[in-house]
Structure 1
Amino acid sequence: MEEEVDTSVTRNGRNMTGPGAVAEITRESAYNSNGDPFFLHSSDHPGMMLVTTSLTGNNYLTWSRSMKIALGVKLKLGFVDGRIAQPDEGTTEFELWTRVNYMVISWILNSISKEIADAFLYTTTAKELWDKIAERFGESNGPLLYQIQRDISSITQGNESVAMYYTRLKRLWDELTCLMPIPPCTCGSAKAVVDLHSFNRLMQFLMGLSDCYDNIRSQILVMEPLPSVNRAYSLVLRVEKQREVHTAFNESKDSSGLFAKTQNTNQPYRRDGTNRGNNKKTDMGRKEEESGEKTILSRSPKGYSNRVYIQSIGQ
């Protein structure tokens, strides 16, 4: 009698065949795709564009933020910030690391404009490439801080909607916070620093509003305590929506009145101002009045004929 041979394949001491093997492989694949920084999906390729806006030299701050988010989603951020170190050569991990490292380099180069991408083509690691880009475009914070502060102090709503105005202002605030983050503090003065930061933003938002929002601006300024800038934005936006509804209602009302007036104007009128539909006189009668004659209709004297004789008598 032949002995049964166990042909099951094991991985790390686990049985990968038989009942539950498919579920085990599925769980392992899910782990690799969600927790392994060396994992590359079948859709990942060197020509991918991770961000929609390319680095041009003047937008380093927004570009780097977008790239960090995209790399973080793919668990590859450690390749540019140094958390995933290069393994020793000759090991299996080194081959995996090299493959993913070149993939990240390709993604970064694809997100740089063609005019400046050639200057970084010969970098060997993703971290080296990232550091060189930061050194060239991210270190000149002085002029950039000046420009952001100047834009914040001069920005106004103008003819824009409240949402568009607030979005522009919010983006400048975020860029300024990225360049000058508030240092973490666990002492009692931390709340005072945050309150002062919120107060400055509230004043900047209110100062840039159009003059048509003077009433709601005055109401916000007398609130005790002062609301946050997000709360103030919500109040101003509510006033804007109410004005839009009121304007739309008035326009609809004016259009209805104009339409009714046009309909009345299209009715035919006589010279004396009376409506033709209410006129009981015939066209013959009007002609007679204009000629100064009066028409008398009578039958034939003998009554033998249906002929009608017309006699004209001068007035």
Structure 2
Amino acid sequence: MKDKEVFINESFPIPFDKRMARLWRRCSQLVRTWIGNCIAPEVVAGLPLMKDPKKMWENIREMYRKLDQGNMTITTVYNKLSGLWNELEAAKEKFDWPDHIQQQYKQMREREKATRFLLILNEAYLSFRPQILTMETLPSLGRIYQLII
């Protein structure tokens, strides 16, 4: 990624010249693609679509800063994560999809939330991950929280 960090630290703003601006956008897209290819697919799936690589990078850094259990209790992790998801849900664009598509999308998002919650937990809760993730019907995030505490 030689000489591309300027797209992350904004030391090379978009040029006014149309031809140069087009080339700048191509490089910016390349940087976003590289960032997306360098992180885990489950992290990429949770990122909002962004055209600005700097914002994308900051979003990832903030996500990892906020989503490390460290010494936090399970309750603190659950509440922090729920708060972040609520913020994200409120900011998302709403689509007028058919009911069955909306239901499938909701189920997919709930599974993603449950998976992320389980993956954030430290080694003390390692035994819960396979037990819960291999269930035929994945319980709700609230139910998973109750099972763990």
With normalisation by structure 2, the TM-score equals 0.55
**What are the residue-to-residue correspondences of 1:297-312 with 2, within 5 Å?**
none
Change (3 A) 1:234 1:148: farther
Q: In the alignment, what sits opposite 2:62? A: 151
- RMSD (Å), alpha carbons: 2.4
Using the TM superposition, give the Cα deviation of residue 187 of structure 1 relative to its aligned residue in structure 2, in angstroms.
3.8
**What are the residue-to-residue correspondences of 1:1-315 with 2, within 5 Å?**
147-148=58-59, 150-153=61-64, 155-237=67-149
Higher relative contact order (CA 8 A, sep 6+): 2
Q: 3-state DSSP class of the match of 1:225? A: coil
Number of residue pairs matched by the alignment: 96
Indicate conservation of the 8 Å contact 1:206/1:217, yes or no. yes
Indicate conservation of the 8 Å contact 2:113/2:141, yes or no. yes
Indicate conservation of the 8 Å contact 1:145/1:176, yes or no. no
Q: 3-state DSSP class of the match of 1:188? A: helix
Q: In the alignment, what sits opposite 1:31? A: none
Partners in 2 of 1:211 and 1:185 — Cα distance? 40
Q: Note the residue ranges of structure 1 that are not aligned, 5 or more in a row.
A: 1-141, 238-315
Structure 1 residues 214-270: Cα deviation after superposition (integer angstroms, max 9, x where no partner): 112221112111112111111111xxxxxxxxxxxxxxxxxxxxxxxxxxxxxxxxx
Partners in 1 of 2:142 and 2:56 — Cα distance? 24
Partners in 1 of 2:59 and 2:120 — Cα distance? 15
Partners in 2 of 1:147 and 1:172 — Cα distance? 15
Using the TM superposition, give the Cα deviation of residue 166 of structure 1 relative to its aligned residue in structure 2, in angstroms.
1.1
Greater gyration radius: 1
Q: Note the residue ranges of structure 2 that are not aligned, 5 or more in a row.
A: 1-51
| Structure with the higher fraction of residues in strand conformation | 1
